[in-house]
């Protein structure tokens, strides 16, 4: 399959992408700027977008390189007959495959040596603890029997949950004997079939950005409960320098995309709060006519 970058010469291609990944995995570029068309970059040609019409859509993956103009490019691709997540996707959310490596520089969340600061902050920092306390305020404990905490780490939110509520921490590594081992990034999800979804609240706190197939995890969540709480730091709040040096995300999504995906799963946003101008805490509930 051919991998092609569309746009991004305004900044991302030259300054944020891994140049070796481009050289190894990209066949050519397309761009809307007439000054670039007919030139080359890293020895690879830059064509006008019409070049894509010559391609077999079943044998091409167009990676949108621009960060600022990704929406305009997406509509161009749709008008040309390309389908999202089939023939094209946003390049910053592309995690790499057997042909083309990941384009954006990335620090693996699981690597304690390279990401120790973030891990320690999650497990011990006062900021994450304060956020968890706010999350707990959104849980209706009068109608909740079970709280499932996806990406729980060391389960610090438990101190804010009443003792008569069953708490199930889920993570990719075993923090305690109670931890249910699941790697959400590898399509692993806990078996919650024995719990009544009417009385189950699922938490996804600070984890959705580390799951490549984020629509899959939302579908699994909405199949298992009637209430869920999600926190997300909207991609628009991430500055350039952080993207270049500290990015641990495996996708690049906006809060409105989460809301739209939840609506497709018959859930509605019922409560939302901003946390310290950094993170939005969103509570979703199954639409009343869908409850069963």
Over residues 25-47, the pLDDT tens digits come to 999 999 999 999 999 999 999 99
**pLDDT over 80 (residue 107):** no
> 72 Cβ partners below 8 Å, 6+ apart?
none
DSSP β-ladder status, 166-171 and 180-181: parallel
Domains, in order of start, for the chain: 2-93 (3.40.50.720), 116-290 (3.40.50.150)
E-only strand ranges, the chain: 2-6, 28-30, 40-41, 44-47, 60-64, 88-90, 146-150, 166-171, 180-181, 200-205, 227-232, 267-275, 279-286
Per residue in 227-284, pLDDT (tens digit) is 999 999 998 888 888 888 888 888 889 999 999 999 999 999 999 999 988 899 999 9
Structure tokens at 22: 């481009």
Per-residue model confidence (pLDDT) at position 91: 94
Say how far apart CA 173 and CA 187 lie, in whole Å.
15
């Amino acid at each position: 399959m051919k991998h092609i970058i569309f746009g991004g010469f305004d900044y991302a291609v030259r300054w944020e992408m891994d140049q070796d990944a481009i050289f190894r995995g990209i066949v050519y570029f397309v761009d809307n700027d007439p000054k670039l068309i007919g030139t080359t970059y890293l020895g690879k040609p830059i064509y006008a977008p019409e070049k894509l019409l010559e391609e077999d859509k079943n044998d091409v993956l167009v990676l949108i390189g621009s960060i600022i103009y990704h929406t305009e490019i997406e509509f161009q691709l749709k008008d040309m007959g390309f389908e999202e997540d089939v023939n094209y996707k946003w390049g910053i959310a592309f995690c790499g495959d057997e042909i083309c490596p990941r384009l954006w520089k990335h620090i693996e969340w699981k690597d304690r040596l390279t990401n120790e600061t973030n891990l320690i902050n999650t497990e011990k920092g006062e900021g994450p603890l304060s956020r968890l306390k706010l999350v707990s305020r959104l849980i209706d404990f009068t109608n909740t029997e079970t709280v499932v905490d996806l990406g729980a780490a060391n389960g610090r939110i438990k101190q804010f949950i009443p003792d008569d509520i069953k708490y199930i921490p889920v993570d990719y590594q075993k923090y305690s004997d109670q931890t249910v081992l699941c790697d959400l990034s590898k399509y692993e999800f806990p078996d919650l079939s024995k719990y009544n979804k009417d009385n189950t609240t699922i938490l996804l706190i600070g984890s959705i950005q580390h799951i490549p197939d984020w629509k899959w995890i939302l579908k699994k969540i909405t199949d298992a409960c009637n209430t869920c709480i999600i926190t997300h730091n909207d991609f628009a709040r991430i500055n350039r320098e952080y993207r270049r040096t500290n990015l641990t995300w495996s996708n690049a999504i906006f809060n409105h995309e989460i809301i739209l995906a939840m609506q497709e799963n018959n859930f509605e946003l019922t409560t939302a709060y901003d946390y310290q101008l950094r993170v939005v805490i969103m509570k979703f509930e199954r639409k009343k006519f869908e409850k069963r």
